[in-house]
Structure 1
């Protein structure tokens, strides 16, 4: 039986040699005969002299290019059905790919090709050619048989041929589906990370060659995880689909929109007229995402934070440019959600410092670098110490003494809030025990500790009970302070856990009240004893009538709910006088005392008692 033939057409000697070597040394190389040509005209002569299973055709050739050659080959009845695979390094865009298919291409590959893919594609056509040659051989044998039998055999052969053609079509469709899955995001059909990286590398090369402007926009949807948890993953997917559509509607037709995963999207903008164009697109995206989404019967509100990196000043490789855009987006989220932020080198330094701080934080507990400072809470009318708040401090070996606000965010990001929070509870119980053993006159006042929401999901009642029992101190010696904005994230869970704690005899305070927008129904449901007015409302008392009205309203509301009121951040006598007149129960702040180490606090309290 004859051997199937492959025609390889390429005018570039090096490319011709590389492809020829690849095909000859292929494991299937012995299954076919390879014929080469270096021009379109030479290829046409070869087609007249031979029958080919498949033709591998270069697009870029002098004189008659690949498209013209393919058209001429397929115009001749003898070669009209020969499958052609274009292989090119210069016509790599989608329009030329489409042009190739319009000229009858079976496939369109971009050089350099992956050997296994090319060999796999050729194997299909070689197999088909073998089958056709077998059919021809059988046809010649059947000619010697009875005519009626020959007709029957030919009908069988046609059915076999049709089945083979159907199989080829199915294989081609499977290859197309596999390619789609490899290069597209399955949910939104946008480019995926792999495709974006390839396109970005190509865009950087073009920009470098022609001196063009290029921008990369990173964005994600603010608080998407909370939306996903609250409304379900189906609603989250619907939101992502709508967001993808809105983002695509904000960019130019030539821009690339990709989804990296989760709620992270990227926009690649090439050949910019000005870098300000990137900011304009960023603002359009922020505005588009800011419009409420309608998911089923729900109306969902979110926002987009956008980071922008520019080529070449913010990075000259795909990795560095993507990292810069990601850092800028992170900074936008930190500064103001729903905003845009350009990358600058300070962000990189801040991120490096943040990363270093997070690494050091992981060892702070085991190195015993934390300490509790104590600040008294004082009765507004009598001046008597009514309680004390334990405030976390970190004796950082490199940066010195840090307050909680300087590292709690890093603790949250690294998952350290729960172990640090438990350390605070144990340290407060241990201090209460030391004061009791020392026979001091103020050990009965409760020590307030701040609790973060992750602790509520980590068996908080059991943790508190264990440490109270370990140091043999009464539950009345401890008080919990929980930020209002954290409580309202999951009122049902918070209520259940806090009620169990409250029933054990521990008082509970809502910290930073007035900033979390909780409703009266939420306050009534929570087993709380104290409201702490946020210092932002106390700071301008006596200067701002609005703050005066807000504090008065909080005090009146607390009275209606039978709650005590503590004002935070009191620094002047004028503020204290106003708070007394409004009926505030307690105050806390620098007016009375700064936070102090335990031994200094004890000395000051003894001195105050003696006076």
Structure 2
């Protein structure tokens, strides 16, 4: 039976001899015949005289180069399906690689070629050609046998031949699909994780050899899960496709964009002129993602957090560099969504401590490690206590007493924020019950608790009603404080939930007002009773005329909306005097009292009221 044939085309005598020797002396060398050519024209003549299993074609040749030769070979019906593998020394030119694939290349190798890789590449085509030759031989034998058979038998044999040919086609298509799935993300067509890691390893080797800079950018979409859950997976896929296009448009032509899965993307930047160029590309990506996405009939807003790791200072291996970029991206999401963060060694320590804290947080409730501290809100004119704010504290067995700001973000990331929030509401109701039963002269003071946005999505009205009923206290015992910046993320949802709570008799305050940049129309739509001026505007009263003007404007706006005003962070008599002059209703801060445990707070407040 005939052997499969390989055509080797190379105009460089030394390269031709080296490749010929490699192929002839390989373990599979006796399974095929090798024909050589030293130019594109000679290769075309060989294609007219022979059928080849595969053609190994040099890119750079005088006269007719490899791309022109490939195009001519594939333009002829006889040779249109012959697979071509380009071999070139121009490994840094990604456009040549793309050009090769556009001219129908089955693969693209960079010399010097690793023998095992070349042999494994051609073995697939040799085996396929051998099977085709076997099938052709079988067909010839069947033809000889069938000359004396009846017409029906001929038809049956034709069906068999058709099935065999169909099997060959299916096998070829399966091989093509398998190759595509192995190297490309099926949704976006970008490189997948496997391809990226291969390319990154190669890029690190090149950078080490030539002393070049390299950067790896990890990108993660913010709020993608909520978008996917709300609009469905088809909308989520549409968003990912648009994101992939925007990232690709933001990078340099030489940069590699890959999708690791979900909403995680990676950009590999080789041969950087400076590390600042990595930040520049990161900013372009972030800015492009900030513009609305048109999904179906809706405009969707999201943002991207980018972490950047640099070679070699942030890692000198593929695994260490990817880990550093991932940590930097996670740090960006924690610091400020839609931001860029470079990796530094401190992140390692911080992330390890964060992970440990998240693990310990899972046992804090069951170990009864939480406690509410209380800080009074005092009337400006009379000096009497007007309310109380409950502030969460964690008696951490390893770190000591922690304020809420030190662990709330960890609680949000571990999904425990809603559970802890319900505990806070329940503990505040229980304390209100104790004060009512004690017979003291301030049992009806409302206790303010802070509420985070995840709680609004977790049946907050039902949670509050359940705790009020459990401890037998009226709705007026509670006051909710919602951070302004959190409310404006989803005004429609917040308004609906807060209206239901307000109608039950619970007062609602906007906390940290002045930092979230909400509009007047938003404030009018929300069922709120109180504005709490953020302490950043109170801190420099008497020193900064700008802060004085801001506080005065907030007070005047509150008056127009029939809202009470509470100033946070009051620490000096001068601040208190100015706030009284501006017409602020209530004050809260260290000037009166630090947050105290319930027992100490009770004694302190009895002393203040008696004064």
Q: State the distance in 2 between where 1:410 and 1:436 align.
A: 34
Moved more, 557-566 or 365-374: 557-566
Contact 2:372–2:424 (CA under 8 A) maintained in structure 1: yes
Deviation at 1:493, TM superposition (A): 3.2
Using structure 2 for the length normalisation, give the TM-score. 0.77
Given the superposition, is the C-alpha separation of residues 44 and 219 from structure 1 closer, same or farther in structure 2, using an over 3 Å criterion?
closer
Deviation at 1:241, TM superposition (A): 3.5
Q: State the distance in 2 between where 1:568 and 1:610 align.
A: 24
SS at match of 2:144: coil
What do the CA deviations read for 1:353-384 (whole angstroms, capped 9, x no partner)? Answer: 21121112112112221111111111111111
Structure 1 unmatched ranges of 5 or more:
none
Moved more, 261-270 or 600-609: 261-270
Moved more, 10-19 or 192-201: 10-19
Q: State the distance in 2 between where 1:267 and 1:144 align.
A: 60
Q: State the distance in 2 between where 1:395 and 1:46 align.
A: 83
Q: State the distance in 2 between where 1:82 and 1:282 align.
A: 43
Q: Partner of 2:253 in structure 1?
A: 253
Moved more, 591-600 or 144-153: 144-153
Deviation at 1:349, TM superposition (A): 1.4
Deviation at 1:556, TM superposition (A): 3.1
Given the superposition, is the C-alpha separation of residues 478 and 280 from structure 1 closer, same or farther in structure 2, using an over 3 Å criterion?
closer
What do the CA deviations read for 1:374-428 (whole angstroms, capped 9, x no partner)? Answer: 1111111111111111111111222221111111111111111111111111211
Q: State the distance in 2 between where 1:95 and 1:518 align.
A: 49
Moved more, 119-128 or 206-215: 119-128
SS at match of 2:188: coil
Structure 2 unmatched ranges of 5 or more:
none
Q: State the distance in 2 between where 1:150 and 1:129 align.
A: 32
Q: Partner of 1:107 in structure 2?
A: 107
Given the superposition, is the C-alpha separation of residues 236 and 146 from structure 1 closer, same or farther in structure 2, using an over 3 Å criterion?
closer
What do the CA deviations read for 1:314-373 (whole angstroms, capped 9, x no partner)? Answer: 112212111111222233344444443322111211111211211121121122211111
What do the CA deviations read for 1:553-574 (whole angstroms, capped 9, x no partner)? Answer: 3333333333322221122223
SS at match of 1:185: coil
Q: State the distance in 2 between where 1:155 and 1:58 align.
A: 46
Contact 1:142–1:150 (CA under 8 A) maintained in structure 2: no
Deviation at 1:519, TM superposition (A): 3.7
Given the superposition, is the C-alpha separation of residues 9 and 410 from structure 1 closer, same or farther in structure 2, using an over 3 Å criterion?
same
Q: State the distance in 2 between where 1:514 and 1:214 align.
A: 42
Deviation at 1:177, TM superposition (A): 2.7
Contact 2:94–2:254 (CA under 8 A) maintained in structure 1: no
What do the CA deviations read for 1:150-175 (whole angstroms, capped 9, x no partner)? Answer: 99999998997677556534432332
Contact 1:92–1:110 (CA under 8 A) maintained in structure 2: no
Moved more, 92-101 or 261-270: 92-101
Q: State the distance in 2 between where 1:552 and 1:72 align.
A: 80
Moved more, 63-72 or 296-305: 63-72
Q: State the distance in 1 between where 2:56 and 2:66 align.
A: 10
Given the superposition, is the C-alpha separation of residues 198 and 541 from structure 1 closer, same or farther in structure 2, using an over 3 Å criterion?
same
Contact 2:139–2:161 (CA under 8 A) maintained in structure 1: no
Deviation at 1:274, TM superposition (A): 3.5
Deviation at 1:200, TM superposition (A): 0.9
Given the superposition, is the C-alpha separation of residues 25 and 441 from structure 1 closer, same or farther in structure 2, using an over 3 Å criterion?
farther
Given the superposition, is the C-alpha separation of residues 523 and 178 from structure 1 closer, same or farther in structure 2, using an over 3 Å criterion?
same
Q: State the distance in 1 between where 2:597 and 2:79 align.
A: 92
Q: State the distance in 2 between where 1:369 and 1:21 align.
A: 75
Contact 1:293–1:299 (CA under 8 A) maintained in structure 2: yes
SS at match of 1:592: coil
Moved more, 244-253 or 306-315: 244-253
Q: State the distance in 2 between where 1:291 and 1:174 align.
A: 40
SS at match of 2:337: coil
Deviation at 1:436, TM superposition (A): 2.7
Q: State the distance in 2 between where 1:306 and 1:240 align.
A: 16
Q: State the distance in 1 between where 2:547 and 2:413 align.
A: 34
Deviation at 1:214, TM superposition (A): 1.8
Using structure 1 for the length normalisation, give the TM-score. 0.77
What do the CA deviations read for 1:51-76 (whole angstroms, capped 9, x no partner)? Answer: 99889999999999999999999999
What do the CA deviations read for 1:452-509 (whole angstroms, capped 9, x no partner)? Answer: 1222222323322332233333332222222222223333433333333333332222
Moved more, 366-375 or 211-220: 211-220
Q: State the distance in 2 between where 1:169 and 1:30 align.
A: 27
Deviation at 1:132, TM superposition (A): 6.2
SS at match of 1:149: coil
Given the superposition, is the C-alpha separation of residues 114 and 443 from structure 1 closer, same or farther in structure 2, using an over 3 Å criterion?
farther
Q: State the distance in 2 between where 1:6 and 1:173 align.
A: 22
Deviation at 1:517, TM superposition (A): 3.2
Q: State the distance in 1 between where 2:108 and 2:310 align.
A: 33
Contact 2:385–2:609 (CA under 8 A) maintained in structure 1: no
